[in-house]
Structure 1
Amino acid sequence: MSEDMKFPTPRRKAPALFKPKDPSEFDFKFIKYEKGDGIARVTINRPQLYNSYNLETLQEMTEAFDDATIDNRIGVIILRGEGDKAFCTGGDVKEYAEYMVQGKSQDMWAWMNFFVRAHDALRNCGKITIAALNGIVVGGGNEWNLSCDIAIMADAEWVEKKGVMVPTRYIKQVGTQVGSIAAGGATQYLPLVVGLRRAKEILLFNRPIPPQQAKEWGLVNEVVPYDQLDATVDKWAHDALNQFPGGIRSTREQLNFLPNLIWGSTMGLAKDTLTRNMGGVESYFGMVGFSQKRPVDHDSIRCAMADGADMENLFGPYIHKCPSCGVEGLPLDFDYCGFCAAKLETENV
């Protein structure tokens, strides 16, 4: 039997510009980070919130991905969610509702910068990335799935809810259901992955896609029973380690040319669109309704539009001036000043 070919130990150790850390050196609150045997494992650790991510989660994920990138012992990054209920369900809607919908919508633009950095750190890491889909994959969770090279999904059981059989695990977009736009990767990547027709079905109708259907459509590479997920992902990871690291890096760059081109040419517009949308009436009804578990009557919005409501300027154009305090740019439908409560002169408007 022939002897394995091995690279010799360097006679001279080159100075290290980058110094990867031991995972214990990080003080992460919302993710778990582990490294060993050539594999980095990043786990979104918010199971009580179905592994949705807030701003701090994105910052921690970026740190972990950056560390794995500069660690030459690492050849694979595995991304998963804590527990068995959810891989990731996207952005924390309660954070959106509190700080942007009911706070400052302009903060969404800065928030999206952190979101983009986290995805860029994963996509440009130069290693093979594997999504271990341990539970439901919803909204921005599917965008993490799409940012990974490979996806292995745990199969679902079917249970009865309100007289209908539904899967316990699935992939689902929710943007147009919660007053948002899935422009953080889903609108960019889904047409490439599943084709334009299916991408429109996924994004415009928000139907859950069971694991086996997800595999048929190309959203995942393999579906296995839940108790075999970790072993299957580890097998893929160890197979990935039996490749040349330079070849992996260069091949990924070639494969990602078109996705990166689309991502880079659309994210500026996506950030701006999402920021403007966050201050709108649809985001308010969608996200506040979701966070308060109140169903939304979507038809009431169409009826209001048919009756003359302007969804972009709900209270009319900004044309009033307060005769008392002098504030300008008050909406047409205001009868009183929002600053000093003085009666506005509306008769001649």
Structure 2
Amino acid sequence: MELTDILYEKTNGLAKITINRPEVYNAFRARTIQELIWSFRDAWDDNRIGVVILTGSGEKAFCVGGDQKEKGEEGGYDYSGGLGGGIGLEVETLHQTIRNIPKPVIAAVNGFAIGGGHVLHVICDLTIASEKAKFGQSGPKVGSYDAGFGSAYLARIVGEKKAREIWYLCEQYSAQESKEMGLVNKIVPADQLQQAAEEWAEKILQKSPTALKMLKYSFNADSANIQGISQLSMSSLAMFYNTEESEEGKNAFLEKRPVDFKKFRR
């Protein structure tokens, strides 16, 4: 597959996947999602690969979710080729691929991990963050949501009360605050992030691949029911994107004006 939106490299048992759209804070479009799925599946099929690092290009962002400028007139995202999964993005497939790949996935969060980008790091097995990283949700601010792994699994990590706070208030949290709530495993200086991720990867590569695979399956089993919830979530989101309420969130973001959801409470 020709890669335009991500960088993909494999070295000595490590696969590194970098979202490479720094001009839009590594926001993803349909093409980006397709390339991410392809890369994770390639790493899955390659028996020489034992661990995957997911990160973002540049110093500002890991990923800030879906690119609002790519959102079409009918609510879903514009895309060329592939299956859209109802919203023009194969996000559900990507989530399942990251969870199910029988190899540990490390998120190296170099900057903003917001919205759909926040969900990506949550789903990864481990998260190492730059001290400059910021975490948070934005969905309800822009007429969107992730009622699957992005909320139900998040609650398993940080607890119900904190997960509701993250989604209802849409505030941003520092790397230290995120570590305290269990979202981040380790914090390092920005210029040491990639090195730290690779050091953890090397430690993992020294372990039994079968043992790691079975452990990941075991960890996933307890929250496997969320996959069904995720399917319902994405189906409902496809319908929601066709409403005036969702459009208001998108348009306010693009027009850089305050959003007005009050009229939808009448």
1:249-272, Cα deviation, whole Å (9 max, x unpaired): 11100001122221x220221122
Asked if the contact 1:108–1:274 (Cα under 8 Å) also holds between the matched residues in 2, the reply is no
Partner of 1:260: helix, strand, or coil? coil
Instruction: Tell me: CA distance 1:108–1:187, structure 2 relative to 1, closer, same or farther (3 Å).
Output: farther
Instruction: Tell me: CA distance 1:75–1:102, structure 2 relative to 1, closer, same or farther (3 Å).
Output: closer
Quick check: 1:193 aligned with 2:157? yes
Offset of 1:97 from its aligned partner? 4.6
- Report the RMSD for the aligned CA atoms in angstroms: 1.8
Find the counterpart in structure 1 of residue 105 from structure 2.
Answer: 129
Q: Which has the higher contact order (CA 8 A, sep 6+)?
A: 2
Offset of 1:108 from its aligned partner? 6.7
Instruction: Tell me: CA distance 1:102–1:27, structure 2 relative to 1, closer, same or farther (3 Å).
Output: closer
Offset of 1:175 from its aligned partner? 1.1
**Residues of 2 paired with 1:272 and 1:54: CA distance?**
18
Asked if the contact 1:100–1:108 (Cα under 8 Å) also holds between the matched residues in 2, the reply is no
Instruction: Tell me: CA distance 1:283–1:145, structure 2 relative to 1, closer, same or farther (3 Å).
Output: same
- Structure 1: 5+ residue stretches without partners: 1-25, 157-168, 306-349
Instruction: Tell me: CA distance 1:63–1:198, structure 2 relative to 1, closer, same or farther (3 Å).
Output: same
Asked if the contact 2:28–2:65 (Cα under 8 Å) also holds between the matched residues in 1, the reply is yes
Among 52, 58, 64, the residue aligned to 2:33? 58
**Residues of 1 paired with 2:224 and 2:240: CA distance?**
24
Partner of 2:108: helix, strand, or coil? strand
**Residues of 1 paired with 2:104 and 2:76: CA distance?**
37
Among 141, 155, 172, the residue aligned to 2:136? 172
**Residues of 2 paired with 1:100 and 1:155: CA distance?**
36
Offset of 1:110 from its aligned partner? 2.7
Quick check: 1:224 aligned with 2:216? no
Instruction: Tell me: CA distance 1:27–1:278, structure 2 relative to 1, closer, same or farther (3 Å).
Output: same
Quick check: 1:75 aligned with 2:50? yes
TM-score normalized by the length of structure 2: 0.93
**Residues of 2 paired with 1:110 and 1:97: CA distance?**
12
**Residues of 2 paired with 1:48 and 1:251: CA distance?**
38
Asked if the contact 2:5–2:35 (Cα under 8 Å) also holds between the matched residues in 1, the reply is yes
Aligned residues: 262
1:319-339, Cα deviation, whole Å (9 max, x unpaired): xxxxxxxxxxxxxxxxxxxxx
Q: Which has the larger radius of gyration?
A: 1
Quick check: 1:34 aligned with 2:5? no
Partner of 1:259: helix, strand, or coil? coil
4+ residue runs of structure 1 moved beyond 3 angstroms? Answer: 298-302
Offset of 1:94 from its aligned partner? 1.4
Offset of 1:233 from its aligned partner? 0.7
Amino acid at match of 1:63: W
- Structure 2: 5+ residue stretches without partners: none
Partner of 2:213: helix, strand, or coil? helix
Identity %, equivalent residues: 37
**Residues of 2 paired with 1:254 and 1:117: CA distance?**
20
